[in-house]
């Protein structure tokens, strides 16, 4: 019987399922985890470029004071859609794609537990994304109320396209929940004999915990948008104070989803970096058990900190104190992780190939984002920071190095495994350094303009902020154009190039795709004797 990690066998596996389904239909009907993982990754990259193009419009408008390129209304649509597309279209599907590709191989499973549902959960995404983007072309324009879509702005004053936006969010949520159920079922039921929970690679662990977070919070988001729908069309007053509702209720519901969502976008990164740093330090990961517990602690704490986004809405002092201290507490397990990565690197035989460069940048820059988050957690200080560019700087320092850099690291690390070819290391290093410089040029100055009082989500600003905004825009254009180089590197790697070794990273332990025993016998492909 062919090994499940053999790329050729994945196509045999598909042929067996659908007969000779050729060309396009192979991709439409496939139940193969590798094909579906590939589709998720390509989809997320297309959405990354789409959301990135919107960011370019935002930075072009903010290049200098005064209104020069777009109308304020369209600027608001761009800020809203940029956030929604990056979160639901780029980062989350990319992580699900990596999970699809790697988890079955890491645990010695023949495929995902529910292959047909896997196919369905992917194919919902393009339709949801098209619906979301199509709102921009509808009468009255697309959503213009920020990616957090606070009521009553998103209910009483919303454009007619909001109904389609709500439906798109529902579909994206359904896809996420199905993907999460599949991942949990796969990890709990299809591990190779001898692979106990505490022997699983950390990427598998982080995704298991992430999947539980998804199942817990996506229905909360569904509830929020359903209540919006009722307020808009059916005369209810969930968020309308005139009818006995409360606009602040929306914020509580949204952030009860939104804060765990932030960790959904970061926990898989922790797993990726925990696979890459040991490989390029040529050492086992320091503190495996503490990493598992730290991940679980972060997931638990993420549910009890949501109102730190709401210090300025008038919550009681005791509430401010609780959410302040609970938020600071998250720094403890996060610090455990950072110290473990640093200790893994300490006195290791490190080499700095591109995956390691992105991972090291992840550790350093994510820590900066963590420190500014700690500043934001201080309730009395947050009254000054709230809704300024300081917040924008903070969450981009968490999400760009934290999610995007980790995804790049994973792609470079596993591309040889996926394609059988090595990518162009020189070009990849250029991609890293241009991304690194562009990212810091874009977001570091935002700390300063934020502390000086520049509010976020505005198309114009006072003259004293002009220089820093110019630097931010130049950095943004640099970062954005660099991603076209990444596209070139990946296509070049897929089309050919130097053949990859079985263990492409010389001296690396190869822990991430070896399992202690053969894959278990299962009943949903050809038995070994019927070839």
Active site amino acids: 82, 111, 147, 175-176, 259, 261, 263, 274, 308-309, 334, 337, 456
**Residues 350 and 281: beta-carbon distance below 8 Å:** yes
Farthest CA pair distance, the chain: 76
User: Bridge partners of 499?
Assistant: 421
**Token pair 């500014």: residue:** 372
Q: Tell me how many degrees the CA angle 276-278-282 measures, rounded to the nearest 5.
A: 120
What is the C-alpha separation between 9 and 112, in angstroms, rounded? Answer: 15
Q: Round to whole Å and give the CA distance between 20 and 26.
A: 8
Give me the phi and psi of 455, to 5 degrees please: -75, 155
**123 Cβ contact partners less than 8 Å away, ≥ 6 residues apart:** 28
Measured distance between the N- and C-terminal CA atoms of the chain, rounded to whole angstroms: 8
Q: What torsion do the CA atoms of 51, 52, 57, 61 make, to the nearest 10 degrees?
A: 120
**CA–CA dist 479, 439 (Å, integer):** 6
Q: How far apart are CA 480 and CA 474, in angstroms?
A: 10
CA-nearest of 228, 213, 204 to 153 is 228
Place of tokens 């022997």: 199
Q: How far apart are CA 222 and CA 411, in angstroms?
A: 31
Contact of 232 with 158, CB cutoff 8 Å:
yes
**Looking at residue 86, what DSSP letter applies?**
I
């Amino acid at each position: 019987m062919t090994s499940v990690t053999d790329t050729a066998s994945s196509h045999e596996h598909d042929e067996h399922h659908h007969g000779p389904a050729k060309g396009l239909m192979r991709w439409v009907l496939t139940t193969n985890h590798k094909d579906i993982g590939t589709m998720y990754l390509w989809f997320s990259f297309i959405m990354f470029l789409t959301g990135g193009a919107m960011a370019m419009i935002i930075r072009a408008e903010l290049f200098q004071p005064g209104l020069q390129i777009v109308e304020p209304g369209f600027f608001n649509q761009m800020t809203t859609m940029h956030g929604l597309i990056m979160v639901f279209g780029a980062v989350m599907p990319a992580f699900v794609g990596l999970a699809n590709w790697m988890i079955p191989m890491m645990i010695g499973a023949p495929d995902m537990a529910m292959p047909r549902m896997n196919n369905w959960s992917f194919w919902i995404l393009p339709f949801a994304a098209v619906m979301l983007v199509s709102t921009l072309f509808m009468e009255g324009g697309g959503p213009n109320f920020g990616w957090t879509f606070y009521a009553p702005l998103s209910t009483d004053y919303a454009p007619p396209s909001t109904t389609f936006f709500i439906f798109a969010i529902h579909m994206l949520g359904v896809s996420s929940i199905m993907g999460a159920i599949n991942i949990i079922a796969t990890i709990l039921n299809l591990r190779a004999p001898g692979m106990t929970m505490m022997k699983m690679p950390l990427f598998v662990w982080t995704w298991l915990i992430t999947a539980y977070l998804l199942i817990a919070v996506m229905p909360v988001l569904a509830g929020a948008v359903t209540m919006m729908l009722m307020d808009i069309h059916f005369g209810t007053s969930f968020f309308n104070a005139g009818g006995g509702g409360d606009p602040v209720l929306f914020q509580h519901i949204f952030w009860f989803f939104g804060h765990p969502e932030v960790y959904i976008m970061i926990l898989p990164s922790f797993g990726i970096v925990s696979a890459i740093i040991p490989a390029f330090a040529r050492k086992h990961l320091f503190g495996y058990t503490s990493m598992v517990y730290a991940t679980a602690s972060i997931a638990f704490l993420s549910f009890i900190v949501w109102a730190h986004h709401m210090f300025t809405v008038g919550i009681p002092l005791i509430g401010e104190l609780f959410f302040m201290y609970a938020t600071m507490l998250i720094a403890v397990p996060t610090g455990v992780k950072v110290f473990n990565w640093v200790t893994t690197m300490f006195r290791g035989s490190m080499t700095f190939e591109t995956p390691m460069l992105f991972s090291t940048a992840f550790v350093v820059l994510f820590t900066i984002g963590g420190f500014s988050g700690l500043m934001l957690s201080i309730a009395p200080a947050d009254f000054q920071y709230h809704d300024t560019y300081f917040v924008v700087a903070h969450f981009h320092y968490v999400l760009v190095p934290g999610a995007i850099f980790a995804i790049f690291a994973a792609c470079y690390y596993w591309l040889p495994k996926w394609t059988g070819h090595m990518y162009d290391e020189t070009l990849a290093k250029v991609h890293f350094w241009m991304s690194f410089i562009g990212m810091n040029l874009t977001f570091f100055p935002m700390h300063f303009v934020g502390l000086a009082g520049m509010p976020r989500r505005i198309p114009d600003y006072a003259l004293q902020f002009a220089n820093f905004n110019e630097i931010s825009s130049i950095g943004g254009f640099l970062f954005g154009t660099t991603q076209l180089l990444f596209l070139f590197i990946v296509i070049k790697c897929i089309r050919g190039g130097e053949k990859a070794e079985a263990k492409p990273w010389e001296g690396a332990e190869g822990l991430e795709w070896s399992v202690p025993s053969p894959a278990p016998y299962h009943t949903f492909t050809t038995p070994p004797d019927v070839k």
